[in-house]
Structure 1
């Protein structure tokens, strides 16, 4: 018996084997099973959107968007607030889907729900912001003004590691600013990142045709990017896939917001609180099995405190129980797939063969990979150069603040970082020299806030920012108008 047939919300009778596009309907691409990584149990079956389904959805969305853009901004905001109420009402069932589909512990599900609620409420506030400005006319006697208008249809290609959060982060501002959305959830999490989202907005009374949930693999994503009705693509995923999305979208001169990978450093200076830094480092590297673009992929530690910091980090790793995330006391669940587990194993094994030393963990059991600490990590090893996307903490020593900056910046990525020191001015001086879009002092590297612009530099993205008022720039475009007086 699948989870979808056990009476949990949302009722599987509505959506099993279907897509959401002008209501729940059969797809042209068949169906796909949804499997729980911790147990291998079949949880559900969803429809797979074929290219023809995407084309139909794009046309429906374009038609529905015109009336939506003309609706009062407060009317659009109210839909988001009702969606938030629905999410609160169904939070228990939503948490269960996140845990079982993504392999995260219940606290991870609670975090996604709280963050999704923040995204909805923050985006609702965009409706009350000024949308334009009066300009100084270039010709005396004229009126000149400019205001923001919706882009039209936004395509959102969602990842599996935070499916509810990332869906809400794009959908909420896009919809409240007058756009329609085609959402393609990842094949690993089509329920918590797609079906659940559709049902929440459906309960909230979002007019039909404005949101289309189109599960499927790369072919479905390619169809969303290429659809002529789609004016913008929001993609969260690997840098390699992001480059392909950017190339395809470029052919259509579409706006693209890319939130990609990261090789993020947590820098621990010699005057840091070692226990606090190790706790932040453990959370940054091991939280949700390290499967986050903002995870700490390097621990850069001053040589004078390398031993006590490493011991503290090992203590943090050893205290974390690995297992089925539904079991009491489990801190780390499985990684998302065999492919991901094998890649983590490869990176660690190749680095050990090159001279790195395993101080904790280092051996997987199927999809369960333990918190792993490596030292003697050289800058040529995969553990230093590659994004691991697993619960691995490579530790690298430095001697000076300048050397720490140089090591941290030795990457094509530039997403986030953390710096630990009892001297905030010293930590801030280092932070100013890091090539990252985000940096946090005496904190974790993995942070997100609905009112903050989120994004990276280099191979971590195309400089886009989503969050807070930055959403105005992302999901609208300017229109300029002049009026000649006396005509």
Structure 2
């Protein structure tokens, strides 16, 4: 089988009206577990962003006029090719992000579903006939494309988080400028450029512009970019939101989380600890939906912690591209040092480390901390590392108070054998997503994905919301003749 993305095609290049050199130099592509340099992509300059936006603006008009089912056919072909090349894509995700193989394979599987559901969106009704109180006036409301959509994605799950924006944006008649994170420019961007090249997407509709903060800022400020879809840190999202707001530009922001996993005293403790370990340690905890706080009722706290510690100590850490391990490396030294800081600072304030707590380079041991209290970094801050922070509560009211004692509001989960009790608690939680009898890390295209508070601005990615997110409403009226007015 022909390789989808051989390095010779993309080496030192961006994708914008074809493969060409970027105006801001190059970006190394590294294997996170070993530090090996796998190649380099181009780095897009401010001028590259403006040129891409101009090309995309021209191409988008013809694309919007293309019948929706034909747009959907191209996306369905992308999904087919993605399935053909799923092993190659998963390998790239493992090497470039430090993900374990099962997580990378799941990311590809989820991306296929996102693209297929995006393709289906292209065949859906785009408007409705509305009523009017004036005889002879024909009134409709229709959805029209935004125009050019700028998509800025993070490094932790670059393939799936690009798919969920690219697919519905293209399906609804938009052009797309994609800026993958400079730590994952191939799995976050190059692979999609190659897929769309292979399926015959019209030239100029899709651009891959790897780069850092300057590239992203240029995309947000570019007048020809009509919307920004951003997934990433709250700190960066606040800046993007402020700039986009000043420009009266739509910005869809899914940001960080400090997600509570509430474990009630009537639960199966072993099952709850297993779910909690998965929620905190999947992808080394580098997921915005990770279980950031384990809130456990006091009567079962000792049993829960014992099970959690036992499971944690059984996990292996290593190179996911060469070994069968549970956890791979953290993304870079800065992130590893930050996890170190949060663990050490919390321990100095009274939290106890019962498992893990140290690292070898980028390989951080899965860590369990107990006696974690409000005002400690492990309670307050998004860690983005493999740390399970346990806080004990007495009753349901305290569980809700602790869960909501945070400015984030992405995901919350409640584990209980009493569904009515769990639902009463869930109804009081400040979160855009709530799971009962599951952990916090869950991704499906069918349910709205988005957060409250510092976790986002309420725009969601899903089959339910994508049409409204990537299109805007237009009201159109018509009459047989001009009416008579009194002026």
Given the two structures, how large is their TM-score scaled by the length of structure 2? Answer: 0.98
Aligned twin of 2:406: 411
- Runs of 4 or more above 3 Å deviation: none
CA-atom RMSD in angstroms = 1.0
Gaps spanning 5+ residues in structure 2: where? 483-487
Q: Is 1:44 aligned with 2:63? A: no
Please list, as runs of the form range in 1=range in 2, the aligned pairs for 1:161-200 lying within 5 A after superposition.
161-200=156-195
Aligned twin of 2:272: 277
Aligned twin of 1:265: 260
Aligned twin of 2:359: 364
Looking at structure 1, the residues matched to 247 and 136 of structure 2 have their Cα atoms a distance apart, in angstroms, of 39
Match of 2:309 among 308, 314, 330: 314
SS at match of 1:256: strand
Q: CA, structure 1 residues 8+72, in 2 after alignment: closer, same or farther (shift >3 Å)? A: closer
Aligned twin of 2:6: 11
Question: What is the Cα deviation at residue 453 of structure 1?
Answer: 0.9
Aligned twin of 1:234: 229
Looking at structure 1, the residues matched to 210 and 81 of structure 2 have their Cα atoms a distance apart, in angstroms, of 22
Given the two structures, how large is their TM-score scaled by the length of structure 1? Answer: 0.98
Aligned twin of 1:474: 469
SS at match of 2:28: strand
Q: Is 1:422 aligned with 2:400? A: no
Question: What CA deviation, in whole Å up to 9, does each residue of 1:87-111 have, x standing for no partner?
Answer: 1111111011100000001111101
Aligned twin of 1:202: 197
Question: What is the Cα deviation at residue 32 of structure 1?
Answer: 1.7
Looking at structure 2, the residues matched to 203 and 451 of structure 1 have their Cα atoms a distance apart, in angstroms, of 28
Looking at structure 2, the residues matched to 347 and 15 of structure 1 have their Cα atoms a distance apart, in angstroms, of 38
Question: What is the Cα deviation at residue 486 of structure 1?
Answer: 4.9
Once the two structures are overlaid, the 10-residue window that deviates more, 168-177 or 242-251, is 242-251
Question: What CA deviation, in whole Å up to 9, does each residue of 1:13-60 have, x standing for no partner?
Answer: 211000000111111111121111110100111000011111100000
Looking at structure 2, the residues matched to 59 and 128 of structure 1 have their Cα atoms a distance apart, in angstroms, of 28
Preserved CA contact (<8 Å) 2:4 2:194: no
Gaps spanning 5+ residues in structure 1: where? 1-6
Looking at structure 1, the residues matched to 156 and 426 of structure 2 have their Cα atoms a distance apart, in angstroms, of 27
Question: What CA deviation, in whole Å up to 9, does each residue of 1:112-151 have, x standing for no partner?
Answer: 1001001001111112221111111131221111100000
Question: What CA deviation, in whole Å up to 9, does each residue of 1:149-172 have, x standing for no partner?
Answer: 000000011100000001101000
SS at match of 2:73: helix
Aligned twin of 2:246: 251
Preserved CA contact (<8 Å) 1:36 1:103: yes
Match of 1:147 among 136, 139, 142: 142
Looking at structure 1, the residues matched to 323 and 234 of structure 2 have their Cα atoms a distance apart, in angstroms, of 36
Question: What CA deviation, in whole Å up to 9, does each residue of 1:411-433 have, x standing for no partner?
Answer: 00000011000011111110010
Preserved CA contact (<8 Å) 2:369 2:388: yes
Q: Is 1:457 aligned with 2:452? A: yes
Looking at structure 1, the residues matched to 222 and 463 of structure 2 have their Cα atoms a distance apart, in angstroms, of 28
Preserved CA contact (<8 Å) 2:4 2:195: no
Question: What CA deviation, in whole Å up to 9, does each residue of 1:278-300 have, x standing for no partner?
Answer: 11100100000000110000000
Looking at structure 2, the residues matched to 469 and 357 of structure 1 have their Cα atoms a distance apart, in angstroms, of 44
SS at match of 1:433: coil
SS at match of 2:354: strand
SS at match of 1:414: coil
Looking at structure 2, the residues matched to 276 and 138 of structure 1 have their Cα atoms a distance apart, in angstroms, of 60
Match of 1:80 among 75, 79, 89: 75
Looking at structure 1, the residues matched to 384 and 211 of structure 2 have their Cα atoms a distance apart, in angstroms, of 23
Aligned twin of 1:26: 21
SS at match of 2:226: strand
Preserved CA contact (<8 Å) 1:143 1:485: no
Q: Is 1:213 aligned with 2:220? A: no
Looking at structure 1, the residues matched to 415 and 164 of structure 2 have their Cα atoms a distance apart, in angstroms, of 29
Looking at structure 1, the residues matched to 395 and 23 of structure 2 have their Cα atoms a distance apart, in angstroms, of 60
Once the two structures are overlaid, the 10-residue window that deviates more, 120-129 or 287-296, is 120-129
Question: What is the Cα deviation at residue 8 of structure 1?
Answer: 5.2
Looking at structure 1, the residues matched to 339 and 423 of structure 2 have their Cα atoms a distance apart, in angstroms, of 33
Preserved CA contact (<8 Å) 1:126 1:469: no
Aligned twin of 2:282: 287
Preserved CA contact (<8 Å) 1:98 1:104: yes
Looking at structure 2, the residues matched to 112 and 204 of structure 1 have their Cα atoms a distance apart, in angstroms, of 21
SS at match of 1:230: coil
Preserved CA contact (<8 Å) 1:77 1:127: yes
